[in-house]
Amino acid sequence: KQEVTQIPAALSVPEGENLVLNCSFTDSAIYNLQWFRQDPGKGLTSLLLIQSSQREQTSGRLNASLDKSSGRSTLYIAASQPGDSATYLCAPYGNAGKSTFGDGTTLTVKP
């Protein structure tokens, strides 16, 4: 059974800092990994999808990396802004035909 861990559970930073969110998973037999953000009481917004054959994916100030063999992914956020405050979730998609979500990292960016 896939188990996903996200570290840290919570993070508070001043505006403008660069930061890294970590995701580790126990079963490396995945097809892809997706990063989401979730605002309180809202649905999930897809940020990035990395295929298992890729090492990196970038979108604007976001960069996600994937090391499938070691079961790790990181989400790098450059020049953080208060609007980035949210919970960030990673979800590897495995050969059981489904995604497994981590508990998330709750990010607060202070003005």
| Contact status: 97 vs other proteins (CB under 8 A) | yes
The smaller minimum CB distance to other proteins, of residues 43 and 60, is found at 43
Phi, psi at residue 68, to the nearest 5°? -65, -40
Dihedral over Cα of 38, 43, 48, 50: its sign? positive
Among 11, 19, 20, 49, indicate the residue that binds other proteins (CB under 8 A).
Answer: 49
| Closer Cβ to other proteins, 29 or 79, answer by number | 29
Enumerate residues 6+ apart whose C-beta is below 8 A from 99.
34, 91, 92, 93
Size of the site for other proteins (CB under 8 A): 22
44 touching other proteins, by CB under 8 A = yes
65 forms bridges with which residues in the sheet?
56, 74
Residues between 72 and 91 with contacts to other proteins, criterion CB under 8 A:
89, 91
CB atoms within 10 A of CB 5: 14
- State the residues that interact with other proteins by CB under 8 A: 31-32, 34, 36, 41-46, 49, 89, 91, 93, 95, 97-99, 101-104
